[in-house]
Structure 1
Amino acid sequence: MRKALLAGLAMATVLGTAACGSDDGGDSGAAGDGGIASTIKIAQVQDQTGTVAYAGLGASEGAELAIDEIQEQGFLGDDVKIDLEKYDTAGEIERASSEMSKAMGDRDVSAILGPVSTQQAATVSPLVGRQKVPTVFTQAGGEGVVTNDYTFRVTPPMESYYASVMDFLEEEGVKTVSVLYNATFPTFAVLGEDDVPALAEERGMEIVQSLPVQMTTQDFSGQAQQIAKEDADALVMLLIAPQSVTALGQLKDAGYENQIVATSVQAAGNIEAAGDNANGLVYPVPFSVAMEDETSDAFTKAFQAKFDEEPTPYAADGYDAMWWIARAIKSSGDSSREGIREGLAKIASEGYSGAMGEVTFDGNDARITGSLVRWEDGKETLVK
């Protein structure tokens, strides 16, 4: 009876495998037929236009560099090709859902680089779990993103490395802090309302002023006057890139001259338009061209050789995400959706060295030490 049962199970497995493979429609291996396909299609469902297009476009460049390296090294096999297909979410939640549905509906798509906005990512995360398509999110640092076995995040949540900013302020002797934050942006709302006050209290600092603004706020003259009047030792500014440029100018006009700290959103030259008003601004980053470790420096040099410009943290995200997927495929020996999911989880349990340096994980969610940088005269330097 035992032999008959085993034979029956073996036959059922063969039939089940054949049934799964029959929907694939090609040689991509996305449906789960095992092995590494000759062509692996990865979808990038991220902003290519709109207010945060810089994050999606940067991730595209980083992913393209990684694909070049993976193929040139024959990392997955000498004849294995990776196709990156781009879908533009254009800064819209409904469009993100629609584009994700299109990508997941394509049975040749083996994995997805998910939306950079938390609102978009949190909306599509349950769908990812239901459709069982491994999705690596870049940016999207808020809650509700990494929610199931098929959701992964390569960019560490900002609150996981923001303590370095508060340590810096403590070392500078700061006792009083004002907070100006975009309450519509989930990551900044959590930082402004929960994390920064808690970190400040732990270090004996007092939050003397907390001023929320909206994503649509473009004039900060009123808030700047309030901040200058309070004259706290430091200002924690949690705004998206265009808002930061405006706010810094209006803070200067209002007469505020104390230390301002910000976020990685100001990186990648996004603050350059503020000119001299941005000098002295300090912020934490998961990646900067000023980083000196071996893997970060190698990424910077390779990116400059390909694009003739310096890489941004968003490019580092895309680069590390694509290499994570490649390592996952090699680890599992399977470029199907299920093979990639299995491999992503295995690599996460081990960690790796990439553009952002040494990366570890809390479950499927990346963690790094981060670096603190100062913007001065058009470039970032490490804060020692």
Structure 2
Amino acid sequence: MMKIRTTKTALTAVVAVAVLTVSACGGGGGGAQQSGQGIAENITIAAVNDQTGPVAYAGVGASKGAELAIEQINDQGFLGDGVTMSLEQVDTAGEIDRAVSEMTKTMGNGEVSAVLGPTMAQQAAAVAPLVGQRKVPTVFTQSGAEGVVVNDYTFRATAPMESYYDIAAKWLSENGHKDVSVIYNATYPTFANLGKTVFPKEAAAAGVKIGQSLEVQSTTQDFTGQAQQIAQANPPAVVMMLIASQAVTFMKQLRQAGYQGQIVGTSVQGSGNAASAGAAADGLVYPVDFSAAMDGDTSKEFTKAFTDKFGESPDTYAAEGFDAIWWIARGIKASNDSSRDGVQKGLAQVAGEGFTGAMGDLTFDGNDMRVTGAMVEWRGGEESLVN
């Protein structure tokens, strides 16, 4: 079971950083165990991510996947007879200041050997430099923007969307959608980079021409104007790079404007986030790093184990949390050292070798995960693989 820690209102980021700076003067590293002492009988991993707030779905999913991984690791005696791994859960509630404060307190807890970090990119980027200062190995999930994997103690168990979004451009080309309109959230770092730079290059390489390219902000909630503009142009396909709630509204308004063509989204529309759009989302396709529809052996095994435990199909966030914890466990076993320094060395070693997890065959660019990815279609409330 996860240990839930209730926290008070977070300090401001300025105060949190000040506290961290003072404490960091005493040196980092250590943890419950000093380097070179082998594997401790009790290993604590902290999950510092959103359990409430606008992106709670990502943090909750990651923590569920982490819980399942820890259960398997303990049941298998993976780290040795009598060795028990446990998870301490901390909520960042969608706030950057709170994420900094909670990470500060967590890294100050000597019993914590490693951290499963914030899922929101802005939170992750704010705490990443502090992770390096305190030398606490931290594995982030989601957090696909730059400024997250920035030192030897920061790792990411989510392939950046840009690293596998090329399969969307190829799918469009192979299915005859050679002219597209693009709409993207220019405030959200991942989508800004994808919409402005990455996808235009991938589209050109695949022989796909971009006509309209429309920018919106994170505060945009009404897409009537953009929907009408796209519907009038009537391209064979529309590529949308919007956060979950925006995508639902946009798809509804786009269909209401009379557009009947193909809509292509992002992995954000996965995990059931497209369901609220109802019939407007039928036929939506998007690339993902994981789907419960994936048919690889390790993916199917994970899906069954997760469904048996939680009574629901796993989402991409759960798969990422699951693989993140197994990465940590493999790292501890590789280094034979559960101290913070041992975990860091082990994570780097495993990254150099790669492994197969819930998301399939996993490789790494330094400390950053890479996946093959898969294209899925959303129809009738379910995902299915598409060629």
Same fold (TM over 0.5): yes
334, 346, 351: which one aligns with 1:348:
351
Separation in 2, partners of 1:88, 1:215: 23
Aligned AA (2:279): D
Separation in 1, partners of 2:191, 2:49: 20
Query: Are the structure 2 counterparts of residues 373 and 21 from structure 1 closer, same or farther at C-alpha, using a change threshold of 3 Å?
Result: closer
Residues 27-74 of structure 1 show CA distances to partners (whole Å, capped at 9, x for unaligned) of: x32x43521111111111111111110000000100000010000000
Separation in 1, partners of 2:240, 2:53: 22
Matched, 1:223 2:226: yes
Query: Are the structure 2 counterparts of residues 277 and 23 from structure 1 closer, same or farther at C-alpha, using a change threshold of 3 Å?
Result: closer
Separation in 2, partners of 1:21, 1:33: 16
Matched, 1:251 2:270: no
Partner of 1:314: 317
Partner of 2:183: 180
Q: How many residue pairs are counted as aligned between the two chains? A: 362
Partner of 1:69: 72
Residues 322-356 of structure 1 show CA distances to partners (whole Å, capped at 9, x for unaligned) of: 00000000111100000000000000000001000
Aligned AA (2:55): V
Structure 1 residue ranges, 4+ long, deviating more than 3 angstroms after superposition: 19-24
Residues 349-369 of structure 1 show CA distances to partners (whole Å, capped at 9, x for unaligned) of: 000010000000011101110
How far does residue 383 in structure 1 lie from its aligned partner after superposition? 0.6
How far does residue 20 in structure 1 lie from its aligned partner after superposition? 9.9
Task: Determine helix, strand or coil for the equivalent of 2:364.
Answer: strand
Aligned AA (1:179): V
Aligned AA (1:327): R
- State whether residues 71 and 78 of structure 1, in contact with CA within 8 Å, keep that contact through their aligned partners in structure 2: no
Aligned AA (2:223): F
Separation in 2, partners of 1:33, 1:102: 25
Aligned AA (1:71): N
Partner of 2:379: 376
Partner of 2:155: 152
Separation in 1, partners of 2:29, 2:107: 17
Partner of 1:3: none
TM-score, scaled relative to structure 2: 0.91
Matched, 1:128 2:131: yes
Partner of 1:167: 170
Where structure 2 has 5 or more consecutive residues not aligned to the other structure, the ranges are 1-25
How far does residue 204 in structure 1 lie from its aligned partner after superposition? 2.6
Query: Are the structure 2 counterparts of residues 255 and 71 from structure 1 closer, same or farther at C-alpha, using a change threshold of 3 Å?
Result: same
Task: Determine helix, strand or coil for the equivalent of 2:147.
Answer: coil
Q: What is the alpha-carbon root mean square deviation over aligned residues?
A: 1.6
Query: Are the structure 2 counterparts of residues 144 and 298 from structure 1 closer, same or farther at C-alpha, using a change threshold of 3 Å?
Result: same
Matched, 1:92 2:106: no
Separation in 1, partners of 2:46, 2:128: 15
254, 265, 279: which one aligns with 1:276:
279
Separation in 1, partners of 2:372, 2:267: 14
- State whether residues 97 and 124 of structure 1, in contact with CA within 8 Å, keep that contact through their aligned partners in structure 2: yes
Query: Are the structure 2 counterparts of residues 20 and 100 from structure 1 closer, same or farther at C-alpha, using a change threshold of 3 Å?
Result: closer
Separation in 2, partners of 1:359, 1:132: 25
Where structure 1 has 5 or more consecutive residues not aligned to the other structure, the ranges are 1-18
Matched, 1:240 2:243: yes
Separation in 2, partners of 1:20, 1:361: 29
Separation in 2, partners of 1:286, 1:67: 21
- State whether residues 29 and 136 of structure 2, in contact with CA within 8 Å, keep that contact through their aligned partners in structure 1: no
